[in-house]
Structure 1
Amino acid sequence: MGLKGKLTAQIEMKAGGDVFHELLSDTPHQIPNMSPTTIQGCDLHEGEWGTVGSIYFWKFTHDGKEKVAKDVVEAIDKEKRSVKFKMIEGDLLELYKVYKVGFHVETNGGIDLVSWTIEYEKLNDEVEEPLTLLGVLIKLSKDIESHHLKA
């Protein structure tokens, strides 16, 4: 098996892709209120919210354990409704040399679809592919959708 890989998942977003994109690109610090069992915190470490080059500090739960990540915002595209983060510090870098998470929203037949992508490079062959981390992103999406559908 190779050390580099890419995982993707695509989920229908009934609450609307624009809401999802605006939340993750401009106000991610609101996410812990919508998905407290997944994301416990998102703090601005450097820069400004919603700005490429800014650094966010995340507290999240993965496999029942609290973890942290410091991510730099690599790209935000309002037209394509996409955002890309690259982890620069955190628990996952004990397993992965490179760990990037991105998403984009596309509309197909009037249905908004959120596509998550994890790009990674494992430190060695013993490290598993981050399938459970993709599951965390899917749960996060469903929590955000549920929050917005209730509102």
Structure 2
Amino acid sequence: MGLKGKLTAQIEMKAGGDVFHELLSDTPHQIPNMSPNTIQGCDLHEGEWGTVGSVYFWKFTHDGKQKVAKEVVEAIDKEKSSITFNMIEGDVMELYKVFKIGFHVETNGDIDLVSWTIEYEKLNDEVEEPLTLLDFLIELSKDIESHHLKT
């Protein structure tokens, strides 16, 4: 198997993909209120919320363990409802040389589809594909959707 890979998941978002995109790009610090079992914190380390080049520091639970991640906002496209994060530090970087998380919304008729993409390069062949991290993003999406459908 190669060291580089790309994983993608796409799920329907009944709460509306635009709301989800605005949350991720402009107010990610509100996510712990919507998914406290998954995300425990999101702090701004550099820049401004919702701007390219800003650095976010996340505290989260993955596979039952507390973890941290520092990410740079690499790209935001409001028209395409997309955002890309480039992870630069944290627990995940102990296994991967490169780890990028992309998010975008596609509208197909009355249905909004949220797509997550993980692009990665493993440090060595023994490192597993980040399937559980893709599952993590899907669960996070479901929590956020449930929160928005309640309000």
TM-score using structure 1 length = 0.99
Q: Partner amino acid for 1:61?
A: T
Unaligned runs of 5+ in 2: none
Aligned residues: 151
Alpha-carbon shift at residue 120 of structure 1 (Å): 0.3
1:118 and 2:118 are equivalent in the alignment: yes
Partners of 1:138 and 1:55 lie apart in 2 by 23
Structural RMSD (CA): 0.4
Unaligned runs of 5+ in 1: none
Partners of 2:141 and 2:92 lie apart in 1 by 20
Question: 4+ runs of 1 displaced by more than 2 Å?
Answer: none
Partners of 1:99 and 1:73 lie apart in 2 by 13
1:101 and 2:98 are equivalent in the alignment: no
Look up the match of 1:12: 12
Look up the match of 1:2: 2
Partners of 1:59 and 1:99 lie apart in 2 by 17
The alignment partner of 1:79 has SS state of: coil
TM-score using structure 2 length = 0.99
Q: What do residues 72-120 of structure 1 show as CA deviations (whole Å, max 9, x unaligned)?
A: 0000000000000000110111000000001000101210000000000
The alignment partner of 2:125 has SS state of: coil
Write out aligned runs for 1:2-151 (5 A).
2-151=2-151
Partners of 2:102 and 2:35 lie apart in 1 by 18
